[in-house]
Amino acid sequence: MSWAGRTAVEIADAVRAGEATAEQVVADHLEAVAARDGAVGAFRTVLAESAMADAKALGHRPDLPLAGVPIAVKDNLAVAGQTATNGTRAASPAPAPDDHPVVARLRAAGAIVLGLTNCPELCLYAMGDTRNPWDPKRTAGGSSGGGAAAVAAGMVPLALGNDGLGSLRVPGAACGVVALKPGHGLLEPPPHDWFAMSENGPLTTTVNDTILALTVMAGTPILPEAEDLRIAVAPNPLPPGFSVDAEFRQAARAAGATLREAGHTVVDHGRRFPMSLGWSTIAAWYACAAADSDDLDEHELEPRTRSMARVGRLLRRTRRDGSRRRDQWRAYGADQWFGDIDVLVTPTIAHLPPSAEGRASRGMARNAYADIRFAPLTGAWNMAGWPAMTIPFGRHSSGLPMGVQLIAPPDGERLLLSLAGHLEQARPWKRSVYHP
């Protein structure tokens, strides 16, 4: 029996009890990576030797919550001794002297870093070159698509990524895994924090694995907590002119109905996002491209990134970088729009993942249009700094998994996890391409 495809909770329990060794678990996952990643492209680099050495050094540690659990880390976070490229040739080749604090916390809990996962350049795009394990012709989403694909393909039970405008939730929905973006301040952010919009978070196959991972990452228990809640469903909260796939809208409604059956008050949320929020989110995205490329050799960047950065600098010079609207939305706008509800349910992505072919070679305008059409439902909650997550919920007629997004005001992670756990119990999902 291979341990690849088992949950993080199952693996840690077995290693702590002496029913499996960390070396055996890591070896099984390395075999899975060797057999499966050629068709997916989730990993930039696989750390086979150091992972086996770390597993051997771990020994039998019944006190570690993640004992022997293989993890993947997004290639924009520091892993000691490795180079974090942030998806670009322009990155410094110098290896990181220390782990990022969240990586260090996971390792101290017994997790074994199996490798670094691919991301599009500077994490700017909702679609990278990593392929979707459910349909390799399609993108896995981005920018944490490498981690989402690795989890969905059963190559690791847990991946660490980050979310600047949807970069965990978008690939999570595309690949049919659980992804949670914490609210601002719960975890140390990635080094490029995108004006306090980007947050580190876990990608897993179950809600229990997410609870375990987030508890370790935060250094404090994050336990589900919900009584009778007022929940609103918004099948399409986008401004007029933006569409959402009909089956995705129906999945959000079905999730609301499931929560109503559980005893919660569920209402329709008929409000649309203000158009000004959409424009300011796009402006902030371009400003992030400018900020993250300011100290890099422009000639080493992809043409689409160079173009985005130039527009971002122009917006910055003319004070049209979205910062004023972002500050208003974070201070009071999101709360006013949200209204008197505890949790909002929406689709996570608006349309099916597009083709994975040739993303980097396309121009700025084509990339921007494709990203905005695919993933316009997540960025508002980065602008607000609020917690949000995606869970798998049903199957599209294309055969791909569908995701629903749960959003709560600040400090609402426990509410999200409680509702996600109920939806998982009511509508279990196939945890990965290769396993039940």
The residues carrying an active-site annotation are: 74, 143, 167
What lies within 8 Å, CB to CB, of 101 at 6+ separation is 188
Q: What is the DSSP string of 40-66?
A: T--EEEE-HHHHHHHHHHH---TT-TT
How far apart, in whole angstroms, are the C-alpha atoms of residue 403 and residue 395?
9
In the 8-state DSSP scheme, what is residue 329?
I
How far apart, in whole angstroms, are the C-alpha atoms of residue 403 and residue 32?
25
The two tokens of residue 364 are: 């700025």
C-beta separation of 231 from 342 below 8 A: yes
Which is it for strands 343-347 and 401-407: parallel, antiparallel or unpaired? antiparallel
How far apart, in whole angstroms, are the C-alpha atoms of residue 349 and residue 170?
6
Per the rule left: phi > 0, alpha: psi between -120 and 50, beta: everything else, 18 is: left
Cα dist. 228→257, 263, 280, 342, 426 in Å?
A: 15, 7, 35, 10, 17
How far apart, in whole angstroms, are the C-alpha atoms of residue 429 and residue 177?
9
Q: Is 31 exposed, middle or buried (0-12, 13-18, 19+ CB in 10 A)?
A: middle
Which is it for strands 265-268 and 70-74: parallel, antiparallel or unpaired? unpaired
Taking alpha carbons only, the member of 97, 106, 96, 58 closest to residue 75 is 96
Identity of the residue numbered 370:
A
3-state per-residue secondary structure call for 378-435: CHHHHHHCCCEEEEEEEECCCCCEEEEEEECCCCCHHHHHHHHHHHHHHCCCCCCCCC
Q: What is the DSSP string of 234-268?
A: -S--SPTT----HHHHHHHHHHHHHHHHTT-EEEE
What is the CB neighbour count within 10 angstroms for residue 280? Answer: 24
C-beta separation of 324 from 381 below 8 A: no
Measured CA angle at 47 (ends 218, 130), to 5 deg: 80
